[in-house]
Amino acid sequence: MANPVFEIRNTGRNSARAGDVQELADHICTSWASTTTGTIAVTHSQNVDVSFTQPADTIIRNLIAIPAGNIVTAGNSGDDVDFDLGTAAGGGQIIDEEAILDDGGSAVTWTANAPLYLIQNSHGHAASQFVSTATTAGVVGGPATSEAIVIASTLYTASARTLHVRLKAAQTNLATAATTVTFLVEFLHLGVLPD
């Protein structure tokens, strides 16, 4: 008798049993890394950089940012907080300076401990994706306005590489900051995990 854990029954080309899907999901191999910024100054135009290592033969599945305290823009059009992801510090090779707090003339708040999935299931986001209202499923405490998160380059790497995250307050000093942001990164392994 076949081992039921590994037996997948063919129920038709366009269908699968829920148990089979759950079994496959249980065997997806992922790993996590985390890094935390230094204290983000209120002063504008100061880069806050952190880096992490992406393992070989992986795709970035999720990139989550979580502030320890509130971050609030000054309330003038263009007073954004920009996010950048690249293979060089400030390079923007993967995501190039997108405003995760997009100030169009009203102060924008990113509330403490509100997780923003900057990359979710290896995808970016439409503009203002993080806001939570009665009709949208955003993040409670997420910024009301943000630019689209456009992924400009592959999230896959064949060999290990260092990736750099940059946060920067543009144009005017922030109304509130003096806090840190932790980035959690999930990698989907396409090959066998190293020993």
Predicted local distance difference test score (pLDDT) of residue 132: 77
Q: Which of 2-11, 16-25, 45-54 is predicted most confidently?
A: 45-54
pLDDT tens for 112-152 read 999 999 999 999 999 999 987 655 667 888 999 999 999 99
Which bin fits 68, alpha (ψ -120 to 50), beta or left (φ > 0)?
A: alpha
- Residue 88 CB neighbour total at 10 angstroms: 11
User: CB–CB of 104/77 below 8 Å?
Assistant: yes
Amino acid identity of residue 66, one-letter, is: I
Angle ∠(182,116,69) on CA atoms, nearest 5: 50
* pLDDT given at position 4: 43
Per-residue pLDDT at 5 exceeds 50: no
pTM over 0.85: no
Which structure tokens are listed for 115? 């997780």
From residue 47, how far is each of 54, 84, 165 by CA, in Å?
22, 10, 10
